[in-house]
Amino acid sequence: MPALDKVLVANRGEIAVRVIRALRETGRKAVAVYSEADRDALHVRLADEAVCIGPPAPAQSYLDVHKIIDAARRTGAQGVHPGYGFISERAPAARAVEDAGLVWIGPSPTATAQLDDKIEARKVAHAAGVPTIPGSDGAISAQDARALALKVGLPVLLKAAGGGGGKGIRLVRDAASLEADLARAAGEAQSAFGTGVIYLEKCVSPARHIEVQVLGDGEGKAIHLGERECSLQRRQQKVVEETPSQALSPEVRERICRAAVAVVERVRYRGAGTVEFLLDQEQRFYFLEVNKRLQVEHPITEAVTGVDLVRAQLDIAETGRLPLGQDDWQPRGHALQLRVNAEDPWQGFAPSVGRVTGLRLPSGPFVRVDTALFEGAEVTPHYDSLLAKLIVWGRDRDEAISRWAAAARAFHVGGVRTTLPLAPLLADDEEFRRFRFDTEWLLPWVERARRSAGALPAEEAEAVAVAAALATHRAARRAAPDAKGQAGPSPWVLMGRREALGG
């Protein structure tokens, strides 16, 4: 295997900063790439070298693998670390990097392609003896969809075979609308993912979203590093993650982790990845998909295992061997993470843009902040809304929650609205404290919190009031006709950022 003395980081934001720091710690040099919008970004400042690869639009910069390969060649980088989002799960990108004689720090193009198609991934899980959600074995027609929906029971989900990151999913509650929903889903999938293939699954609800962290050597051997609880979501996008999950009995935890290993060993998986499952109320779990990259929430696994997952990725890519065995780690304590997004939870998680006019990061024992923010940084509509990740560890869940709430209160980002107020409010909620939630719980809870603004602590109540006033002002501006007499959509809608990024 070639030595990785210099690695190009094909990403931006907090994950680029995270990877660059791991490269520095391991004595390697880092090459950053950046769009014109990110010229002054922190990952550019931290890298040993930096190359501009185009305009702000992702398709002309961070998604252009040929520009990335050219930057690697020009700087003498031997490998490419894709982070998450952008090109990280694109088999053609991985193949182009390897064909250029560079090391792709991720799963092989073959494994990526096999797991990227959700129908093929279901077949892999079947072959590995892992349960999947009742549904179609492949692409489904309108006639077959109606019959299968009645057989497995409504509601059902129509899913894009090429989807991911919570996108390309349509919920169907009425068989009468199934044909029209299927046609709309196919059109949306074709536009978003380049394939209109749709399959059907029974909707498991209420359910929990459980994922298992895995490492594979690319030769058929893999280990797991425990599970993460990711049920606090809004529209299939994760907001809060924690580990371990208190929903799992020891026996179910053992089975679900072994199932995850069986799936990735089946495809000779290389590097870090995550196998995702749904868990129903009877503790039955079902395979969902494999995220073929480093996850946004990887720091909480690092907190309870003591394993540096980015360093593990680098070691596997360089040596072809796992850096540890299954029995070489033991979980310790409890960890939580809040995704600090530039979004206003009190206004339907509406996006927020602007210049960071004040920044105060929390600190103290067992508090970690992964971010690329700095005073004066510009939050633009061009990319994903993730600004930072607040991660805390405690000896048990109660201690971790208390530390998490205190850290969130100490965390200040001026100039934009964020999801930071959620952590202290969740910490005071009895259902959250008692682990009584599922994948459908968060949005109704946020709405109840919004309606109860008068009962909130002064700081949160003021934040809700200001957010409401800003939302009213912005709505009035959006309603005003543009120069052509048409009401203009928001920049976020036009940009369609989430079609390009996962997480």
pLDDT, one tens digit per residue, over 122-154 is 999 999 999 999 999 889 998 899 999 999 999
81 and 213 together in one domain:
no
Q: Which two tokens stand for residue 73?
A: 């060649």
177 and 99 together in one domain:
no
295 and 263 together in one domain:
yes
CATH number at 159 reads 3.30.1490.20
- Residue 304, in any domain of the structure: yes
pLDDT at 469: 53
Q: If pLDDT is split at 50, 70 and 90, which confidence band does 218 have?
A: very high
pLDDT, one tens digit per residue, over 393-424 is 999 999 999 999 999 999 999 999 999 999 99
pLDDT, one tens digit per residue, over 346-364 is 999 999 999 999 899 999 9
Residue 172 sits at φ, ψ, to 5 deg, of -120, 120
In 3-state terms, what secondary structure has residue 261?
helix
217 and 197 together in one domain:
no
For residue 290, what are the β-bridge partners? 275
pLDDT at 462: 56
275 and 307 together in one domain:
yes
- Residue 113, in any domain of the structure: no
Contact assessment for residue 69 and residue 43, using Cβ atoms and an 8 Å cutoff = no
334 and 442 together in one domain:
yes
- Residue 76, in any domain of the structure: yes
| Torsion angle (degrees, nearest 10) of CA 38, 42, 43, 49 | 90
pLDDT at 166: 62
Q: If pLDDT is split at 50, 70 and 90, which confidence band does 474 have?
A: low
339 and 377 together in one domain:
yes
Q: What percent of the chain has pLDDT over 70?
A: 89
- Residue 111, in any domain of the structure: no
pLDDT at 497: 44
Contacts of 46 (CB under 8 A, 6+ apart): 17, 20, 21, 30, 32
Catalytic residue among 28, 228, 266, 293: 293
Comparing 115-119, 199-203, 307-311, 471-475, which segment has the lowest mean pLDDT? Answer: 471-475
pLDDT, one tens digit per residue, over 47-63 is 999 999 999 999 999 99
Tell which of 202, 236, 254 closes a domain: 202
CATH number at 95 reads 3.40.50.20
84 and 65 together in one domain:
yes
- Residue 502, in any domain of the structure: no
The stretches of 37-108 forming alpha helices (DSSP H) are 42-46, 65-75, 91-99
- Residue 110, in any domain of the structure: no
Q: What percent of the chain has pLDDT over 90?
A: 81
Domain tally, the chain? 4
Helix (H) or strand (E) holding 237: strand 237-243
305 and 413 together in one domain:
yes
286/324 Cα distance (integer angstroms): 28
pLDDT at 465: 54
- Residue 320, in any domain of the structure: yes
pLDDT at 503: 47
410 and 479 together in one domain:
no
Tell which of 202, 226, 253 closes a domain: 202
pLDDT at 488: 44
pLDDT at 106: 98
348 and 410 together in one domain:
yes
145 and 294 together in one domain:
no
Domain of residue 485 covers: 458-490
479, pLDDT greater than 60 = no
CATH number at 295 reads 3.30.470.20
Higher pLDDT, 469 or 70: 70
CA distances from 285 to 228, 250, 486 (A): 14, 14, 49
Residue 174 sits at φ, ψ, to 5 deg, of -125, 125
Residue 189 sits at φ, ψ, to 5 deg, of -65, -40
Active site residue 417: no
pLDDT at 390: 98
Mean pLDDT of the chain: 91
Higher pLDDT, 267 or 166: 267
Determine the average pLDDT of the residues in 207-216: 98
- Residue 116, in any domain of the structure: no
